[in-house]
Structure 1
């Protein structure tokens, strides 16, 4: 089965999540190995790369096509993204940024086809998309 993976690039090491925790956002290496993360690194400027996912819903994924076909999944994806932003707000220093690269497992070498940049505290969730081969820069 194909899986969507969300890679997060940061300029500091995020602590890996306790698998037993109740946190909505979990950080770790779920699908990828060093080689896959090295491929993703070619698209990002940040120093460190990890995977982020939702403990309850899995990968972060929402876009206009998904909204038409799977409105519930689209809404869940947006909620997870908001949870990720709240999580990043706790870890990012003011003026810092992170990068969210999303792809199918195995497509890590693929260049991003959709790029966007948002401010952590000021964005319209309905104007951004997280889909395969997307790169979203999140500034604080």
Structure 2
């Protein structure tokens, strides 16, 4: 089983099927369209659901240096949702919900586990 990081956005983005040197890619590695639909219906309020592939630090390892690399192309007031779970457990209830504002990073300490729903607001 694999840990999957889903991201929900209110705008479509291009899927990256090719290997890149970027720290974070929007692609589909482990999830199927049915899995993403479950996450959209059960956890997200956003219109589009994708999967994040991370290299190096995980998306939830947020600190001041990463603030620059966070979803920086969001308009003021926009947001994204991130849901982390084991592949196959998308329909289970979330165990923890966090609302984070990019302007207030760094976050002192955030413990993120499986089945955690994070809303990042700009």
Whether the 8 Å contact between 1:28 and 1:52 is mirrored in structure 2 is yes
**Distance across 2 between alignment mates of 1:94 and 1:26:** 23
Name the residue aligned to 2:118. 136
What's the C-alpha RMSD, in Å, of the aligned pairs?
Answer: 2.2
Give structure 2 stretches of 5+ with no counterpart.
none
Pairwise CA distance, 1:9: 0.4
Name the residue aligned to 1:99. 81
| Structure 2 residue 96 is matched with structure 1 residue 114 | yes
Which structure has the highest helix share of the two?
Answer: 1
Name the residue aligned to 1:51. 51
Structure 1 residue runs of 4+, over 4 Å off?
none
Q: With structure 2 as the length reference, what TM-score do the two structures score?
A: 0.85
Which structure has the highest strand share of the two?
Answer: 2
What pairs up with 1:1-140 in 2 under 5 angstroms? 2-17=1-16, 19-41=18-40, 42-56=42-56, 60=59, 77-78=61-62, 82=66, 86-90=69-73, 92-140=74-122
Q: Secondary structure at the match of 2:103?
A: coil
Give structure 1 stretches of 5+ with no counterpart.
62-76
The 1:129–1:14 alpha-carbon spacing in structure 2 relative to 1, beyond 3 Å, is farther
The 1:10–1:93 alpha-carbon spacing in structure 2 relative to 1, beyond 3 Å, is same
**Distance across 2 between alignment mates of 1:130 and 1:16:** 26
